[in-house]
Amino acid sequence: MFEQAFSPYLDRLPPVTYVPDFDPHSHPDGGENQWDGIRALTFDGAPCRKEKTKVFAYIGFPAGASAAAPVPGVVLVHGGGGHAFAEWVKIWNDRGYAAIAMDTTGCYPSETGQGRAGRESDYATDWWRHGLYGPFAQPGYTDGPDNDEMASSGQPWEEQWMPHAIVATMGARNILAADPRVDAAKIGITGVSWGGVITSLVIGYDPHYAFAIPIYGSAYLDVSLGWMGPIFSAEQTRAQWSAASRLHRVACPVLWMDWASDTPFSINSNSLSYEATKAAGARHTAKVTMGHSHAGGWTQEEGYIFADAAIGRRCPLTAMGDEPAVSRNEDGTYTVTATIIPAADGVEIAASLVYITAPLSYSNPGEKSTAVEQTWQTVSCRVEAGRVIGILPPEAKEFYLSVTTVTAQGTYEVCSRFVQGI
């Protein structure tokens, strides 16, 4: 809907100001600083009420990155309650990627947070504050909108939170792309929770990404059974901010990663997102024991393995071929068959069916106190020459197939679509 509004930002390098007084320190109370290569900066975001806005960010580069030896890059989009995480930048730097993490909610490190902010554990402290102040205040600039959980949908474009988050994300990518130490053709994006929602939307507007990894958040949120469902099924929000309506434009491979018992989101939304982008090389990973947090997302190895494969550092991951087909047996059980395309570097491949015995449902629908009412169970499958065969018990109602690939470089899971109503 906002194609013309976002198009000026696709290749726009925003004005950047480094703020060294706010460079992060990994041990703010003393000791070795392992984050000395990470710098704090601000850059211009989208205008609001005819004035400019600023975006705060941390940026870092791996050792050895240079114009002669450019490295891949990644844009890091935090979730609700979070901010720019230097900790996250460091994780990707250590894996050989340049990284930029920006705040999408108009927040900056506070006076007490100067040099100390940057960890997941500190976002609930007073180390961050919303709005321009002191060293960040400047004539001609105003505060950017905070995350209002889409309450401003229907307001003028410049007064809504989501457009500002998307423009901030585009600007961060362009800052990486303009740096000679970065291979502009190998910049990806990943986001956690609300950051996953932003990522799902951005890739429908910005064709420049080499890969995308939305974690928890996805498209098709209007049918989510979690508490995000009512937010994105509301008429104005659905009309303006349906990521699903633009997934046909996504050309980069996407890893849709979710927790099967997530409370804001639900596996059916991630599954539909995966199916809509499978032709572009998408993968789906659903975890039974993942939890919901920033670290819960960025500690999953699948994201890093997927990124390395997307930029050609390793061979493509195992993929689903034919999605699961189900047939009922005389004894009431179900035979599930599917095909997979094994990774060339796979040393061992195993598979299991993850199922529930009642249709997926949530307690307290639409409330943040909601929870999945079913318990996920698993049963092992046979894997023979790219064909997977498993048996579900008669009481199974919904399921997905999880395939584990063991390689010399690490182990990862990919999953099928979520099958409902067997």
Mean pLDDT of 38-55: 96
Cα(217)–Cα(197) distance, integer angstroms:
5
Mean pLDDT of 121-145: 90
CATH 3.40.190.10 holds for 3-310: no
For 22-69, give the DSSP string. G---SSTTSS--TTTT-EEEEEE---BTTBB-EEEEEEE--TT--SSS
Nearest to 256 by CA among 205, 207, 220, 294: 220
Cα(132)–Cα(240) distance, integer angstroms:
28
Q: Mark out the alpha helices in 188-289 (DSSP H runs).
A: 194-205, 228-233, 235-240, 267-277
Cα(77)–Cα(188) distance, integer angstroms:
11
Radius of gyration of the chain (CA): 22
Mean pLDDT of 80-89: 95
Contact 165, 104 (CB under 8 A): yes
289 phi/psi in degrees, rounded to 5: -120, 70
Rounded to an integer, what is the distance from CA 1 to the centroid of its chain? 22
Q: Which amino acid is at 202?
A: V
pLDDT tens-digit profile of 281-295? 999 999 999 999 999
DSSP structure class, residue 329: -
What is the torsional sign of CA 6, 8, 9, 14? Answer: negative
Cα(261)–Cα(286) distance, integer angstroms:
9
pLDDT tens-digit profile of 8-37? 999 999 999 999 999 999 987 767 889 989
Task: Give the model's pLDDT for residue 121.
Answer: 80
Cα(118)–Cα(141) distance, integer angstroms:
24
Q: Are strands 182-192 and 212-215 parallel, antiparallel or unpaired?
A: parallel
Average pLDDT over all residues of the chain: 95
How many residues belong to the chain?
A: 422
Q: Are strands 107-109 and 182-192 parallel, antiparallel or unpaired?
A: unpaired
Task: Give the model's pLDDT for residue 123.
Answer: 62
Task: Give the model's pLDDT for residue 27.
Answer: 81
Contact 296, 313 (CB under 8 A): no
Cα(342)–Cα(319) distance, integer angstroms:
7
Give the residue extent of every domain in the chain. 3-310, 319-415
Ramachandran area for residue 393 (φ above 0: left; ψ -120 to 50: alpha; else beta): beta
Task: Give the model's pLDDT for residue 3.
Answer: 81
Contact 73, 186 (CB under 8 A): yes
pLDDT tens-digit profile of 162-221? 999 999 999 999 999 999 999 999 999 999 999 999 999 999 999 999 999 999 999 999
For 121-150, give the DSSP string. GGTTSTTEEES--GGG--TTB-PPPP--TT
Cα(388)–Cα(217) distance, integer angstroms:
29
What does the block give as tokens for 66? Answer: 């240079």
User: What CATH architecture is 319-415?
Assistant: Sandwich (2.60)
Q: How confident is the model at residue 2 (pLDDT cuts 50, 70, 90)?
A: confident
Contact 265, 272 (CB under 8 A): no
DSSP structure class, residue 119: S
**What is the end-to-end Cα distance of the chain in Å, rounded?**
37
Mean pLDDT of 343-361: 97
Angle at 160 between CA 159 and CA 166, to 5 degrees: 120
Task: Give the model's pLDDT for residue 409.
Answer: 87
**pLDDT tops 80 at residue 69:** yes
For tokens 């182990």, name the residue: 411
